[in-house]
Amino acid sequence: MYSDFLMINPEYIKFSNNKKMINIRNGRFNINKFRYWISEFPAEFNLDLGLVRLTEEFREVASQLGYEEHSKLIDISSIPSYDWMRRVTQRKKITKKKGKASLLFDHLEPLELAEHLTFLEYKSFRRISFTDYQSYVIHRCLMDNPTLERSIALFNGISQWLQLMVLSKHTSVQRAEVITKFINVAQKLLQLQNFNTLMAVVGGLSHSAISRLKETCSHLAPEVTKAWNEMTELLSSNGNYCNYRKAFADCEGFKIPILGVHLKDLIAVHVAFPDWIDENKVNIVKMQQLYVTFNELVSLQDANPHLEPNMDLIHLLTLSLDLYYTEDEIYELSLLREPRNSKSMVRPSTPTTPSKHVTLVDWAPGVTAKPDPSIINKHIRKMVDSVFRNYDHDHDGYISQEDFESITANFPFLDSFCVLDKDEDGLISKDEMMAYFLRANSQLQCKMGPGFIHNFQEITYLKPTFCEHCAGFLWGIIKQGYKCKDCGVNCHKQCRDLLVLACRKLRKSTSLENSSPTSLSHGSLPTQTH
C-alpha cells in the first residue's frame, strides 16, 4: 500500500530531507521502507536513470552518516534488466511447424484469430509501466505517454479493421458472413478471458456504421444475433459496468481487463479521496482502493497466456490493423453500402442488431497514434516475406493473380491487381508488393508517437559498454558509439537506425538537497507475490 501511495504521490518522497529520514531513532525503518519499494518496483529502479542516481545519492548519505550496513540494503546493482518493456517487438525464433498455416482471413478459424489478437493485446499490455498508469491518472491525458497511447491505438485499430472488413463486402449476405465470423471471434475472446479485445470487437460491431446496416443484419442467424445481444449486455456501461465486473471477478488464471474501465476507476478514486486525512496521516481507504485496481492491471506482468503464435500471421495482422480510415470515411462507406433511402425493407420478424449498444469508454475514440514509420516498414518487409513464403508455391519470386485476390481479403480496399503489377506481366513480384505497401504507408501518413525519437550523440565511453540493439561490445579508443542524451541508451553507429526501443526521457537531475517533490514522479510494475 505504501508503494502505491509513493507512485501516485511523488510528494511523499522527501529526498530533500533524506538526512532527517536516516536518523538514529528511525533510520532502519526508513531504509527498510526504501528497500521494500525497490523489491516491489524493480523495473523503475532499472529503467529510470534519474531514480537510479537519486538512490545512489541516498546510499552515499547513509554511508556518510555511518550507516554502511543499512546502505547495503538498498543496493540496486543486482536488479535485472527490464529493457524488454521498452521494446516494440521481441525477436523470438519460432520453430517452424510442418505444413503452412493460412494467412487469409476467410480461412482463419475464429479461435486462431482470437488467439493472435490476444497475443498482440498481451504484448501491448505488459509494456505499460506503473509510471504510465500514474501519468494518465494524474494528468488525465496521453501526452508523453507513448506506451499507453499505442495500447489504445491497438484497441481502436481492431475496431476499425473489423468495420472495414464488413464494409469491404458488396452484398448484404457477404457482410452478414463477416459479422458472423467476428461474433464467433468475440465468443472465443470471451473464452480466452480477453475482455479488452472483446470490447474492441463488440464495440466495433456496435458502431453506427455497422449497426445501421439493417439489410445486412437481416441475414444473421438467430443464434448469432442472440450471442451478439448477450455480449453487448455483458459489456454494457449500465450500473458502472456491473456485468463485466462480475464476469471479470469470476475469472481465474490468465485474463486481460478492459483498460479504459479500470483507468476510470483509478481517476475516480484519485479525485474523490484526499491523499492525507491530516498532515501526518495517510488516507488508508484511498490506498486500499488504488491497490485493488492497480493489482488487476499489473498482474499481467507475471501472467502466461500459453499461446504459440504464428509470427507470419502476427506481422500480417500488425500491418492490417495499422491501415486506418477516419470515422467519417467509414460512415460514408456504410451509406454507400446501404443508403438511407434504400428501398430494401427489413421484415419485422427478421433479426436486427442489438438494441442496446456498448458505450465505449471515452478515452479510447480518436486515438490514432501510430509507431515510427520505420517500425511499420519492418513489419511490411516481414509481412511480404511471409506472403511469398506461404503463397509463392514454385519459389520463383512471383505470386499469381488468384493468390493475390485471396491475400487482399486481409486488406479492405487494397488497390487492384493491375495497380500493383507495374510491368503488366500478369504476376506480382516481391519488389512490386513491397513498393506498393511502402508507398501506401507513406500516403496514409502513419503518425509517429514521440516515444521512439532518440537524441543520439557520438561519445567516448570510459567503461565497458554494450550496444542495446545487437548486444555487441562498443570497441575503440575514442568515440566508440552513440548515446541518447534523453534516455541514455547506447548503440553502434550502424545500429542507430535499426534500434527498436522506446525513448524514456530522463527528468532533469536534481541534487538530494534541493530536489522539488514535483520533479520526483516515479513508478513501476510491482512484482506480484503469490
Contacts with 349 (C-beta within 8 Å, 6 or more apart), sequence order: none
CATH number of the domain that residue 470 is part of: 3.30.60.20
438 with 455, same domain: the answer is: no
Nearest alpha-carbon partner for 96 in 390, 303, 374: 390
pLDDT score, position 385 = 77
80 with 195, same domain: the answer is: no
pLDDT score, position 410 = 61
Q: Which of 445, 461, 476 is the last residue of a domain?
A: 445
Q: Cα dist. 231→152, 189, 200, 203, 463 in Å?
A: 21, 11, 12, 10, 58
Q: Which range marks the domain in which residue 150 is found? A: 104-340
Q: For residue 504, what is its C-alpha cell?
A: 524514456
CATH number of the domain that residue 188 is part of: 1.10.840.10
Q: Which of the two residues, 13 and 203, has the higher pLDDT score?
A: 203
529 in any annotated domain:
no
CA angle 302–307–313, rounded 5-degree value: 125
149 with 262, same domain: the answer is: yes
Q: Which of the two residues, 254 and 55, has the higher pLDDT score?
A: 254
Strand partners, 282: 276
Q: Which residues of 499-526 are buried (b: 16+ CB within 10 A; e: fewer)?
A: bbbbbbbbbeebebeebeeeebbbbbbb
DSSP run (H or E) holding 51: helix 49-64
- The average pLDDT across 398-404 equals 76
Burial (CB count <10 Å: 0-12, 13-18, 19+), residue 50 = buried
Q: Angle 195-205/172-191 helices, nearest 10 degrees?
A: 160
Q: DSSP character for 194?
A: B
User: In angstroms, rounded to a whole number, what is the distance separating the alpha carbons of residues 47 and 42?
Assistant: 9
DSSP codes of every residue in 465-509: -B-TTT--B--SSS--EEEETTT--EE-GGGGGG--B---PPPPP
Name the maximum alpha-carbon separation found in the chain.
88
Residue 198 has pLDDT above 80, yes or no: yes
329 with 185, same domain: the answer is: yes
226 with 145, same domain: the answer is: yes
Q: How many residues does the chain have?
A: 530
515 in any annotated domain:
no
Q: Angle 238-250/259-272 helices, nearest 10 degrees?
A: 120
- For the chain, how many structural domains are there in total? 4
Q: How many CB atoms lie within 10 A of CB 185?
A: 23
User: In angstroms, rounded to a whole number, what is the distance separating the alpha carbons of residues 175 and 302?
Assistant: 40
**Structure confidence at residue 248 as a pLDDT band (50, 70, 90):** very high
513 in any annotated domain:
no
276 with 193, same domain: the answer is: yes
Q: Cα dist. 220→117, 200, 210, 270, 406 in Å?
A: 24, 20, 13, 44, 24
Q: Angle 130-139/146-167 helices, nearest 10 degrees?
A: 80
Q: Which of the two residues, 105 and 216, has the higher pLDDT score?
A: 216
Per DSSP, helices labelled H in 344-492 are 373-391, 401-407, 417-420, 430-443
pLDDT score, position 33 = 67
298 with 208, same domain: the answer is: yes
198 with 311, same domain: the answer is: yes
461 with 386, same domain: the answer is: no
pLDDT score, position 73 = 75
3-state secondary structure string, 234-296?
HCCCHHHHHHHHHHHHHCCCCCECCHHHHHHHHHHHHHHCCCEEECCEECHHHHHHHHHHHHH
215 in any annotated domain:
yes
383 in any annotated domain:
yes
CATH number of the domain that residue 394 is part of: 1.10.238.10
Q: In this predicted model, what pLDDT tens digit does every residue of 364-375 receive, in sequence order?
A: 444 454 455 666
362 in any annotated domain:
no
Q: For residue 445, what is its C-alpha cell?
A: 501518413
117 with 213, same domain: the answer is: yes
User: In angstroms, rounded to a whole number, what is the distance separating the alpha carbons of residues 451 and 148?
Assistant: 11
402 in any annotated domain:
yes
421 with 474, same domain: the answer is: no
pLDDT score, position 209 = 92
Q: In this predicted model, what pLDDT tens digit does every residue of 269-328 receive, in sequence order?
A: 888 888 888 877 888 888 888 888 888 888 777 788 888 888 888 877 877 787 557 788
Of the ranges 10-14, 60-64, 184-188, which is most confident?
184-188
351 in any annotated domain:
no
297 with 184, same domain: the answer is: yes
Q: Is 457 helix (H, G, I), strand (E, B) or coil?
A: strand
